[in-house]
Amino acid sequence: MGADELTTGDVVEVQVGPIAHGGHCVARYEGRVLFVRHTVPGERVRARITEGGPGDRFLRADAVEIVEASPHRVPPRCPVSGPGGCGGCDFQHVSTAHQRELKGQVVAEQLQRLAGVEREVSVEALGDTDGLGYRTRVEFAVDGPTIGLRRHRSHEVQPVPGCPIAVPEIDTALAEARAEVVDAPHALDEVAALDVVVPSGEDDTVVVEVPVGATTPSIPITEEVPVPTGSMAMGVDARGFWQVHRDAPRVLVEAVLAAARVEPGERVLDLYCGVGLFSVPLAAAVGESGQLIAVESDGRATEHLRDNLAERPWALVVPGRVDDLFGVPRKGPKGGRGRGRGRAPARSDLLPPSADVVVLDPPRTGAGKGVVVALTSLRPRRMVYVACDPAALARDTAYLADLGYTLTGLRALDAFPMTHHVECIAVFEPAAAR
Ligand SMILES: C[S@@+](CC[C@H](N)C(=O)[O-])C[C@H]1O[C@@H](n2cnc3c(N)ncnc32)[C@H](O)[C@@H]1O
């Protein structure tokens, strides 16, 4: 079969090359690039094309037969994780130690390619190393009486017997929901998803029924996070943003505090702060002679943030989008006259003219050039950038370098075992100050 004619459904034998960002490996078939899932670098596999055809820049494929296996291949711990199955995990077939090596290679490759930074990256396990039983939140998709998880790049629902990467309480809740549907087959007809949450600060599992075409009720819960001074109880919505790995809140707080090296009396910005996982301990670190400014755009998260910071009146909550508050124009839709085109909005007076330390934890898209420019204009002595997407981090690392801020520290945490996701904590300092 000629490479130019390859199309969805065809099966070809390929030698698998390096890991790429996104949970797949790169392979070539007569020069054409294939992104192959369910394989490991170095393997020889038969791969079925799952997306793409003649004229496409690359094709997506699943390894459906392993001709020569990698020594890092292990039997998947989940029966529905293979080709065509649940799209939640990318690396069930890879030893957890090698998963971390692969993620380290991806972070290093992104930094090298997008920012010209040469650095070996080793990814740290969070607590246990088997990569199972860690998720405290799972949103199950519902399709009529079927409860499951979405297939890869699809809306189809794959029924699941349970979720081995979730804490056991989640499987118990799933079994109860299933039993209910057996008794009443139409019970979930108006339900789009079941969001199951196991809050660390409460005894009971919370199951949120997400209705079809209607607003989901907001259900406040309490998370309890061990911190150096004891424990902090934080209010958050059951469906609001919260770190999914049961150990991630504690480990991330420790890592951010260690990276920020905040002194009493300093002014610290915590941007994209959610309900204040970092804001609360940072406010404690600056003390009442200092100032903590916490910025978050989500309305419900901001309400929780105010409550969570209530005992620290030197902490200022600024509701709104970081880009808007800094007067950074938003990008419009491609080629269109999108919102934000034209004159930039004015910078908000709520933001200070300078800061000692900036902590930022933006969503997957990263901060972007405009925000990075605004942050460097505050002349912080340190920026701590928490990133869930290594490509966005690498792109922003390049912008920061152009503006005189060098990457001086990096930790990568395996906060999402079995998936390709990785959490990075990067430290940037002014080049001249080093
Ligand atoms: C990755 S979460 C981090 C939250 C917090 N640091 C934590 O670990 O719990 C990113 C947060 O940024 C908020 N967000 C997204 N875009 C934003 C924007 N443009 N400006 C301000 N906040 C934003 C989201 O609502 C979310 O709470």
Strand, helix or coil at 4? helix
**Residue 38 in domain:** yes
- Per-residue pLDDT tens over the stretch 131-153: 999 999 999 999 989 999 999 99
- Catalytic residue numbers? 388
| 351 occurs within a structural domain | yes
Q: Residue 361 annotated as binding?
A: yes
Give the domain-ending residue among 217, 248, 263: 217
Q: What's the CA gap between 217 and 209, in Å, rounded?
A: 9
DSSP type of residue 417: T
Same structural domain for residues 202 and 271? no
**Residues 170 and 273 reside in one and the same domain:** no
Do 179 and 244 lie in a common domain? no
Strand partners, 66: 45
Can you say whether residue 371 is alpha, beta or left, with left for phi > 0 and alpha for psi between -120 and 50 degrees? alpha
**Was 272 annotated as part of a binding site?**
yes
| Residue 275 Cα: closest atom of ligand 1 | 9
Let me know if residue 117 belongs to a domain: no
Candidates 377, 360, 276, 281; CA nearest to 326 is 377
Are residues 429 and 397 located together in one domain of the fold? yes
Q: Note whether 247 and 209 are same-domain residues.
A: no
Rounded to the nearest angstrom, the distance between the alpha carbon of 361 and the centre of ligand 1 is: 6
Q: Are residues 185 and 198 in the same domain?
A: yes
- For residue 421 the two structure tokens come to 């996701």
Q: How many domains does the chain have?
A: 3
Same domain, 168 and 304: no
Same domain, 317 and 401: yes
pLDDT in tens, 65-106: 999 999 999 999 999 999 999 999 999 999 999 999 999 999
pLDDT of residue 334: 54
pTM of structure: 0.95
- How many residues are given for the chain? 434
CB 425 within 8 A of CB 385: yes
Residue 278 domain flag: yes
Instruction: Identify the pLDDT of residue 343.
Output: 58
Rounded to 5 degrees, φ, ψ at 234 are -125, 135
DSSP 38: S
Same domain, 228 and 355: yes
Phi–psi pair at 417, nearest 5 degrees: -55, 150
Amino acid identity of residue 10, one-letter, is D
| One domain, residues 213 and 226 | no
* Percentage of the residues of the chain whose pLDDT score is greater than 90: 88
Q: Is residue 268 one of the residues assigned to a domain?
A: yes
pLDDT per residue over 20-65, tens digit each? 999 999 999 999 999 999 999 999 999 999 999 999 999 999 999 9
Please say whether the beta carbons of 34 and 41 come within 8 A: no
pLDDT value, residue 299: 96
Residue 149's domain comprises 137-217
Q: Using CA atoms, how far apart are residues 39 and 73, in angstroms rounded to an integer? A: 8
pLDDT at 228: 77
pLDDT-above-70 percentage for the chain:
96
CATH number of the domain at 58, please.
Answer: 2.40.50.140
Ligand 1 center to 364 CA (angstroms): 10
Spacing, Cα 358 to ligand 1 middle (Å):
14
Q: Give dist(CA 392, CA 399) in Å, integer.
A: 11
Considering the domain architecture, whether residues 256 and 277 belong to the same structural domain is answered as yes
Domain contains 90: no
Does pLDDT of 346 surpass 50?
yes
Strands 32-37 and 24-29, bridge-based pairing: antiparallel
Q: Residue 416 belongs to a domain with what CATH number?
A: 3.40.50.150
Q: What would the DSSP string read from start to end of 274-312? A: TTTTTHHHHHHHH-TTSEEEEEE--HHHHHHHHHHTTT-
Residue 400 forms part of a structural domain: yes
Residues 248 and 274 in one domain: yes
Domain boundary among 37, 52, 73: 73
Ligand 1 residue neighbourhood (C-beta within 6 Å): 241-243, 272-274, 277-278, 295-298, 301, 321-323, 361, 363
* Helical segments of 143-247, H only: 168-183
Give the residue carrying structure tokens 């990318």. 90
pLDDT in tens, 358-381: 999 999 999 999 999 999 999 999
68 assigned to a ligand binding site: no
Rounded Cα gap, residues 245 and 248, in angstroms: 5
Among residues 73, 88, 103, the one where a domain terminates is: 73
Q: What is the pLDDT of residue 336?
A: 43
Residue 130 domain-assigned (yes or no)? no
